[in-house]
Amino acid sequence: MQIGFVGLGSMGRGIAMNLLRDGHELIAFDVSPTALDELVQAGARSADSPRQLAEQSEVVFTSLPTPAIVESVCWDEDGLAAGFSPGRTWFDLSTNSVQAVRRLHELLAAREVSFLDAPVSGGPTGAAKGRLAVWVGGSADSFAEFSPVLDVIGDQSRYVGPIGAGTISKLVHNMASTAIKAVIAEALTMGVKAGLDPLPLWSAIREGAAGRSRSFDNITRFLEGNLDSPSFRLELLRKDVDLALQVGHDAGVPMRLCRLVAEDITEALSLGWGGRDSQSIMELQLRRAGLASFALTKEELAEVTEPG
């Protein structure tokens, strides 16, 4: 298969190399001559412009740093749009904006080109090893057609829904990941300032309940709406959080994020939720957003649960 690939940076280089190793005929373009030469030496053909690349490719992948650059690669005089013929497909692996991918999808559909947002997660190491999550939004038929190629790019390719669904999934992941890291940094700082060495502290807490589970695995009660039969009561969590905040206070450590969590617990307790599961504080956000419980079943969750 003739595959066009635009963007050979820290992520794109590894992905493109894996496509070459899988035996695909790769046509590459990058603004960096050094990056492009490396792919050519590995067996790729170079294109002089995104337009030329699109003219020669059955499917195009882009891995670019910003929405503005994706738009430029598409709409410039020698951009992809000028080279696409009807029936072609473009997967954008970039972390783009929801508005941008929906606009590209609409405008390219008028030219009979299938555009899909397909952001990836796993970092440069995952890209080089072919161990990426690939979250795809757009045409389900296009996803099915090119699934064998997506399975070379990553080991967890998933169709999420209509255009924009892949991008939303990636942004949810990255926002949650960043917030989790910020809270961990706050709590670790508290522990170190309270007198512990960072290595034994980190080694200890990563073996606790939260440390042993993947970040999104341990919220099944919230997803099910199964909060009235507690595994760990909210009133007991409040006690633990208060004790932790006292440690931070005594050590002179600012605990801004953790105090916001404590405020949520106070709000939930004022609603009479003390005997409910500790995950009930997550239900507050559903109420604020005007949403009902997700009410997923154990069977539905089991269908998408991966070991690990």
User: Which of the listed residues 163, 197, 219 is the one where a domain comes to its end?
Assistant: 163
pLDDT of residue 217: 82
Domain shared by 158 and 189, yes or no: no
Residues 222 and 96 in one domain: no
Buried b (16+ CB within 10 A) or exposed e, 259-282: eebbeebeebbeeebbebbbbbbb
What's the number of domains the chain is made of?
Answer: 2
CATH number for 273: 1.10.1040.10
My answer on whether 118 and 199 are in the same domain is: no
pTM over 0.85: yes
Write down the pLDDT at residue 307. 45
Q: Are residues 10 and 153 in the same domain?
A: yes
Structural domain range at position 269: 185-304
Computed on alpha carbons and rounded to an integer, the radius of gyration of the chain in Å comes to 23
Task: Dump the DSSP string for 8-32.
Answer: -STTHHHHHHHHHHTT-EEEEE-S-
**Domain boundary at 129, 163, 197, which?**
163
Residue 179 lies in a domain: no
53 plus 149 within the same structural domain = yes
pLDDT at 305: 66
Please give the chain's pLDDT, 308 residues, in tens: 899 999 999 999 999 999 999 999 999 999 999 999 999 999 999 999 999 999 999 999 999 999 999 999 999 999 999 999 999 999 999 999 999 999 999 999 999 999 999 999 999 999 999 999 999 999 999 999 999 999 999 999 999 999 999 999 999 999 888 889 889 989 999 999 999 999 999 999 999 988 888 888 888 889 999 999 898 999 999 999 998 899 899 999 999 999 999 999 999 999 999 999 999 999 999 999 998 889 999 898 888 765 44
Does residue 135 form part of some domain?
yes
State both tokens at 95.
């972390």
Final residue of a structural domain among 128, 163, 198: 163
Assess if residue 203 is contained within a domain.
yes
Whether residue 141 is found in the same domain as residue 95 = yes
Closest CA relative to residue 128, chosen from 8, 9, 6, 18:
18
Residues 125 and 195 in one domain: no
Q: CA–CA separation, 271 vs 262, rounded Å?
A: 14
In a domain, 178, yes or no: no
Q: What local confidence, expressed as pLDDT, does residue 185 receive? A: 87
In a domain, 177, yes or no: no
Whether 82 maps to a domain, the answer reads yes
Residue 18 contacts residue 42 (beta carbons within 8 Å): no
Are 205 and 109 contained in the same domain? no
Residues 156 and 192 grouped into a single domain: no
Q: Are 138 and 276 part of one and the same domain?
A: no
Q: How far apart are CA 276 and CA 225, in angstroms?
A: 11
* Partner residues linked to 233 by β-bridges: 277
CATH number where 145 lies: 3.40.50.720
Q: Which residues are catalytic?
A: 170
In a domain, 170, yes or no: no
Please report whether residue 231 resides in a domain: yes
**236 and 101 together in one domain:** no
| C-alpha of 98 from chain center | 13
Are residues 132 and 268 both part of a single domain? no
Which residues are 121's β-sheet partners? Answer: 133
Cα 67 to chain centroid distance, Å, stands at 16
